[in-house]
Structure 1
Amino acid sequence: MSEPTSAPTTSPQPEASPQPAAASGATIQLENLTKRYPGNPNPSVDDVSMEIKAGELVVFVGPSGCGKSTTLKMINRLIEPTSGRIRIGDEDVTDMDPVKLRRKIGYAIQSSGLFPHMTVAENIALVPKMTGWSKSRAKDRVEEMLDLVGLDPREFHGRYPRQLSGGQQQRVGVARALAADPPVLLMDEPFGAVDPITRDHLQDELIRLQHELHKTIVFVTHDFDEAIKLGDRIAVLRERSHIAQFDTPEAILTNPADDFVSGFVGAGAALKRLNLTRVRDVEIAEFPTVSVDDPLQQIFNTLRAGQGNELLMLDRRGRPYKWLRRGDLMRAKGSLARAGQLVHDTVTRDATLHDALEAVLTDSGGRVAVTGRRGEYIGVVDMETLMNSVHEMLEADRLTAAEHAHDLEELRHHRVERDLEGLRDGSEGS
């Protein structure tokens, strides 16, 4: 990147061409949506009706073969519905040109779906160019989208998909889906093919992006924990996409509609509620840090000046690198190359308390480093903070249960009084 030059002060600067406003989400309405395949007596999707609010992230979750992906693909008409209507915003898109429709809807799938013969930049710019964007605007958009998903444009612009890790490919896939600024984003098990740690970070990234962009997102998964973590609302689907329950994660966890939904919630509903609170909602503490480039004596001085027995060493990009204890420094003998414990796990501010607790429990130090969108160090969350949050959550649950029991008792009391009043009126009339 070139150094900025100072602008002349004597001549007026040309006005920057106005950029179009970013598209926020659009309402999606499915009306009696049905899909039948020849030779099959039963529909794959049967008479589904639902409304997804603008800017909402809705998750379809259900057993394999229940029709959740088919329902998703009918929204952008990758699968044509047999009957029913689809409305996006104020527009009935059931009969419009499906190619034009798909250019207005972002689509991200498992294993990213990137074109292997195109560079990262070419993949991201594909839909903007197809919809008539100029070369310069598309180029600017590529850089903007790479930055948005936490990839350095200078590093990744000219790479090919085969040169990326699985997590990086998925980030580029999301960037491509959002490049033309669609109001609606469809995601079909997009994180299903990556390892659990990468998956957690990709989920956090999606939460952060949605926090900034407010798109309408429909997300398909078979993982109920993922649904709880991501969804504003969850549609639990039975066979043929019949809706068993369509509600907030909290409502489904605390009050499942029936045994089928309870089976999806599974054991440990109270612990699953840790997926409803983010790291950003609790106290992120400061922790003494040093840099990998700091002289050994300076590191000693920092440790002596602190109240604890441990430091966090950051790499040259300010990312967590090693936990260093006093004993490590005493044994260093002039070099820290082999001293300390490498940082194996971090969480972002958009991670859930469940993610943070898991990371803390697998670390002997009882804490986890919190990082920003490019992995830079922000602070730490420790076991005490997490346990206090759990206790507060359980106390709130107890109060809610007590209020519910009180309301039920009041209702029972009123019913008894009403019945007694009816008996009295009946006896007086006779």
Structure 2
Amino acid sequence: MSEPASATAHGATIELENLTKRYPGSPRPAVDNVSMEIKAGETVVFVGPSGCGKSTTLKMINRLIEPTGGRIRIDGEDVTDIDPVRLRRKVGYAIQSSGLFPHMTVAQNIALVPRMTGWPKKRIRERVEEMLDLVGLDPGEFHGRYPRQLSGGQQQRVGVARALAADPPVLLMDEPFGAVDPITRDHLQDELIRLQYELHKTIVFVTHDFDEAIKLGDRIAVLRERSHIAQFDTPEAILTNPADDFVSGFVGAGAALKRLNLTRVRDVEIRDYPTVTVDTPLQQIFGILRGSGTNELLLLDRRRRPYKWLRRGDLMRARGSLARAGTLVHDTVTRDGTLRDALEAVLTDNAGRVAVTGRRGEYIGVVDMETLMNSVHELLEADRLDAMEHQHELEEARSQQTHSEQEGDAAEKKA
């Protein structure tokens, strides 16, 4: 049956009830009686040590691994009783190293599930272009390429586009960014945050990286062995009040700095900065420098992407040649990046500011060190107040316990 062209599926609730997986010959279950409710439209991240069962739990949701006990409900429908192939067409799935079919073009990979579910050809063509644009890839440039002609980051973007192509309410992601370099990984995380901001899917994401979990998750499930839930809460609650020593081990040192992953660049002041392009005449550049009140400009390329930081002295020493002048922009952040990303970029660039870019890399503004340090101080002060409040609660509890013990002693003496 064809999907209507206007169909837009938002998130769906997911309920796991006593979910269990036993493998033949194994004395203990791989996953043991896991119960959890995931709200429609939220991103839940499973994090835990290797072999704890987090990927097994994820794969049971779309029955890539069949459960041996328990129930899974998506929007109230018990999926343990329906055809697993039909279920997998309704649930997007993205894995490490993208999992693209090498003999298919980018467009064919993305079109796979819509074609299998009977969408009309015109709607499929439109959807492929729509999805490429959504993940920040130019349809004209990437439509006919094969996976081997893409970088690792581009392959992962296509993998996400394929998982979302049939507009499923649920997206399962099994360490999808684990095989790419750290810079590409940061950009892919930002892209996923932006997509979720627009699409409101229900995302279940598996990672072993707690910093990634903090950055992406609305809630985090910290899992022990056999997927026993050590703590299931918001990133902020886990950072400020870990349930036990096992969870504290995942949080690690520097909880206040980790909380920089909870604030997005779009939530702080993005300042304007004097810019010129590679086509701006040199005399005009000197004029803008004189009129800007600063000693530096940001040079943009012809697609308005940050290219070089230009100082007056650089231009003078390079005898007015833009080719030889300035310092290349090594790192940028998007509005969906975190303040930790921005702080790392500022410290790496060692220049006190980082350029903020849009979905196609175009210049938007600048975040500077002063803004970032103010945010760090606010987080540290919030942590100090939380610690004082926690200490006060402990003292009150001890006082009440002492008072109760004294009353008990007095009652015994009277008796």
Q: 1:308 aligns with which of 290, 294, 304?
A: 294
- Measured in 1, the distance between the counterparts of 2:104 and 2:288 equals 49
C-alpha change, 1:375 and 1:416, in structure 2 (3 Å) is same
- Measured in 2, the distance between the counterparts of 1:369 and 1:182 equals 35
- Measured in 2, the distance between the counterparts of 1:67 and 1:196 equals 25
**2:221 is equivalent to residue 235 of structure 1:** yes
Q: 1:271 aligns with which of 235, 257, 263?
A: 257
**2:93 is equivalent to residue 112 of structure 1:** no
* CA shift for structure 1 position 129: 1.1
* CA shift for structure 1 position 325: 0.6
**8 A Cα contact 2:170 2:201, kept in partner:** yes
Counterpart position of 2:13: 27
**2:87 is equivalent to residue 101 of structure 1:** yes
C-alpha change, 1:349 and 1:412, in structure 2 (3 Å) is same
**2:151 is equivalent to residue 162 of structure 1:** no
* CA shift for structure 1 position 420: 5.5
After TM superposition, the score normalised by the length of structure 1 is 0.92
- After the TM superposition, which residues 215-234 of structure 1 pair with which residues of structure 2 at under 5 Å, given as runs? 215-234=201-220
Counterpart position of 1:8: none
* CA shift for structure 1 position 287: 0.7
> Which secondary structure does the structure 2 equivalent of 1:138 belong to?
helix
**2:341 is equivalent to residue 338 of structure 1:** no
Q: Could you report, residue by residue, the CA deviation over 1:96-143 in whole angstroms, capped at 9, with x for unpaired residues?
A: 110000000000001111111111111111101111110111111111
Aligned AA (1:91): E
Counterpart position of 1:13: none
> Which secondary structure does the structure 1 equivalent of 2:81 belong to?
coil
Q: Could you report, residue by residue, the CA deviation over 1:275-312 in whole angstroms, capped at 9, with x for unpaired residues?
A: 11111111111111000111111111111111111100
- Measured in 1, the distance between the counterparts of 2:216 and 2:373 equals 23
> Which secondary structure does the structure 2 equivalent of 1:94 belong to?
helix
Aligned AA (1:136): K
Counterpart position of 2:159: 173
- Measured in 1, the distance between the counterparts of 2:391 and 2:18 equals 38
**8 A Cα contact 2:106 2:145, kept in partner:** yes
> Which secondary structure does the structure 1 equivalent of 2:172 belong to?
strand
- Count of residues in correspondence between the two structures: 413
Aligned AA (1:311): L
Q: 1:290 aligns with which of 276, 286, 294?
A: 276
- Measured in 2, the distance between the counterparts of 1:38 and 1:408 equals 48
- Measured in 2, the distance between the counterparts of 1:95 and 1:117 equals 34
Counterpart position of 1:324: 310
Q: Which moved more, 1:315-324 or 1:242-251?
A: 242-251
Q: 2:237 aligns with which of 226, 234, 251?
A: 251
Unaligned stretches of 5+ in structure 2? none
**8 A Cα contact 2:224 2:230, kept in partner:** yes
**2:74 is equivalent to residue 80 of structure 1:** no
**2:184 is equivalent to residue 186 of structure 1:** no
RMSD of aligned alpha carbons: 1.7
Counterpart position of 2:383: 397
Percent identity between the two aligned chains: 84
> Which secondary structure does the structure 1 equivalent of 2:80 belong to?
coil
* CA shift for structure 1 position 426: 6.9
* CA shift for structure 1 position 193: 0.7
* CA shift for structure 1 position 418: 5.4
C-alpha change, 1:404 and 1:258, in structure 2 (3 Å) is closer
Q: Could you report, residue by residue, the CA deviation over 1:65-103 in whole angstroms, capped at 9, with x for unpaired residues?
A: 111111111110111111111111110000211000000
Q: Which moved more, 1:264-273 or 1:170-179?
A: 264-273
After TM superposition, the score normalised by the length of structure 2 is 0.96
- After the TM superposition, which residues 143-154 of structure 1 pair with which residues of structure 2 at under 5 Å, given as runs? 143-154=129-140
* CA shift for structure 1 position 24: 0.9
Counterpart position of 1:7: none
**2:191 is equivalent to residue 205 of structure 1:** yes
Unaligned stretches of 5+ in structure 1? 1-16
* CA shift for structure 1 position 393: 1.1
Q: 2:45 aligns with which of 56, 59, 67?
A: 59
* CA shift for structure 1 position 416: 5.0
**2:131 is equivalent to residue 134 of structure 1:** no
- Measured in 2, the distance between the counterparts of 1:378 and 1:225 equals 26
**2:368 is equivalent to residue 382 of structure 1:** yes
- Measured in 1, the distance between the counterparts of 2:233 and 2:191 equals 23
Q: Which moved more, 1:44-53 or 1:187-196?
A: 44-53
* CA shift for structure 1 position 425: 6.7
* CA shift for structure 1 position 18: 7.3
- Measured in 1, the distance between the counterparts of 2:20 and 2:395 equals 44
- Measured in 2, the distance between the counterparts of 1:93 and 1:368 equals 47
> Which secondary structure does the structure 1 equivalent of 2:44 belong to?
strand
- Measured in 1, the distance between the counterparts of 2:20 and 2:399 equals 47
- Measured in 2, the distance between the counterparts of 1:64 and 1:417 equals 47
Q: 2:56 aligns with which of 57, 63, 70?
A: 70
